[in-house]
Structure 1
Amino acid sequence: MLANKRILLIIGGGIAAFKSLDLIRRLREQGAAVTPVLTKAGAEFVTPLSVSALAAEKVYQDLFDLTDEAEMGHIELSRSADLVVVAPATADLMAKIANGQANDLASTLLMATDTPVLIAPSMNVRMWEHPATQRNLKTLQGDGIMIVGPDEGNMACGEFGPGRLAEVPDIIASIRVVLSDGPLRGKRVLVTSGPTHEPIDPVRYIANRSSGAQGTAVAKALVELGAEVVFVTGPADVPPPVGVQVVAVETAQQMKHAVEANLPVDAAVFAAAVADWRVSTASMSKIKKQNGALPVLEFAENPDILAAVSQMTVGRPPLVVGFAAETDDVIAHATAKRARKGCDWIVANDVSPETGIMGGAENAVTIIFEGGADEWPRMTKDAVAQKLAERIASAILDKD
């Protein structure tokens, strides 16, 4: 997929800049050509000579190099690549991109380019969590810039948390996704996944047994077909796939707000196992035992996200897919659910304990649609996801 592709790689400052050398090596192994741009801060961590040796290309550093301006110019340099990658993307570079600053070669290239941009943030956890960085992140995502990472872990400064540069294989996987020529290229799909946790008090919550594996597999399969995927996930047991825009939530109400904030889309897949009820007033402190007396919990119904989106009169996605996890009369209950919610398809499955599907690696589903149903044999969740993603792609393209 990367053969004969040209990557313009901007290397920002930071201790993680050393990973850019491995990134260059692996990209070239897969057939890509890499044109490196080294910021002034980046050159404090890796040398132009090492970058140039691995890339087998000249390293660009100075905006006002008259020879380069005569031969190529920063405008041509910014547009001659198939993809611009910023790794590591520092808080400073993110701020410059988000606010339209162009006072050095890297920021000027990013302002002048008309090709896709993928950034891999890397910074101290406090810098990543700072409101200014988070505002800039939302601006960048709104402008169509794609993000990979950051990862969570120990940092060179001794702190722990999100802010580590994504691993090189994950960056390359994201590059492959962006450069994919799949049928869903240019299409935006929202996928919900995982359970929701509804708090009872600070240490207890209501949830279900969903692992998030099937929703994660669906998102991954859609990305592999070229879709831009917004992945709204509750606290799942499995990590989110590479190449998606992750929106992490805890509760059903948070998931509803996240879904609404990310519309419109070309399709929406509601694979999350949203809790039907929540405690109407969660305790702000841990509920203690009271001489054997049982606590009295008052429940409230959670928002029905699938029904709300399916029944939108303005801005409804052209294709809305729901999931129905049932333990008895699966087809009858799922068929009734599709009619009641108003979605286009329902993916029904039997999650009775003896099936091993809930939390397992396999699934057996029936796709229910208006006027019929399509029963699939039992297969891995990845295989279900791939088959479902291909069906979604066909439906989206038919609507075009």
Structure 2
Amino acid sequence: MKRLVALVAPVIGLYAFAACSPALANDDAQHGFTEEQTRLAASLPVYVIPQHPRLRPQMFITSVSGPHASSMGRIGNFTITGFPPAEAASLSALVGAGAGAQVLSAAVIMEQGRGRAQRNFDAVQQARCDLPVDDLQRAVVDSIRRSSWGATTNAKTEFFVDGSLDRKRLPPKDEPRLVFVVGAGFSVDFAHLMTTVDVLAYAPEGSGSAWKRESRWLYSFVAVSDPIQLDAKTTADIDAMTRAEYSRYALTGNEALVRKVNNAGFYAEKTERRKATVAATMHKQNLKVSAETEWSPDARGLRSSQLWAENDCARTRDALVRNTEEISRMLGALYAQKLPLEKAPAEATQAATSSGQRYIYALPGGLYVSRNEKLAVDLANRHYLMPD
């Protein structure tokens, strides 16, 4: 198995992982590290890099025209982006590759995706349920040390200082390296918590310097939590959502800011006016969504975010622990060549047949997804985590 994917410079709040091609040449049926890959992994310095040090929401990113255009594709019950996993960490490739309308289009798409994500994320963030992903990063390191090739490996894991990425700590792009990119975030609809790991190896192969930006191979892993499932909306749901929204708004302190701006009128400071307008509009929209008698997509997202935050983040903590354990299990299977073989698209529609049973689905492109329910899973935005 051979894959060409490039890992490039940091951008958009974190760092970017841009890919030149999603093409995959399947010469042999592979289900884990080959002997050659194991030898290579043992010889390379290892970096375990978080996309963000804490849980973040995924942003909904639509396709953009241009040389890096993305098209949404479906494989069975999974929706997969046209961007390779390594590129989907940001839209930096789009912003950096073009100019004019294309750059503006990318910026608008990012802003729209961020606004929607932040609205639902507020309840989680205010309850301090944006938990650190340290345990996920440690689980990846532990899986390496348990492997046949990495028992003595000293993986580099420190890339953030006081919550901000220190770009000087990222792996040099002109040196061989094995990179594990880890992330954890809520799905766009807040129905799931997803954890991801992308494994990329960079080393010389033949002549030329393409290896510095094009990985020798890539494996991608996603663990999807059990979903938040909502029954038909009731008056009790409406009341609970309304109370939660008033509580959220009170904690922000924005009500006092809105009064200040209103009292200042024309003389209000521009930044404060903008912040007050956004806050008041969001509060009004959330109350409107809360009062809806049926579950619209916006209402589902808002209520799900509130449920993730309830009981001292109990649901969030449990999902993160379970997903982390599942990621560790899949990485162990990768090193031991025990991953399932890729399924045909028709087979990928088959989900668990009994409650609580979990499967690893092997999808095209070296993507492995662990889940245990029959609902469709949208993987298209799994790397678009909202930056600070």
Instruction: Give the TM-score, by structure 2 length.
Output: 0.26
Which structure features the higher share of helix residues? 2
Higher alpha-carbon Rg? 1
State the structure with bigger RCO (CA 8 A, min sep 6), 1 or 2: 2
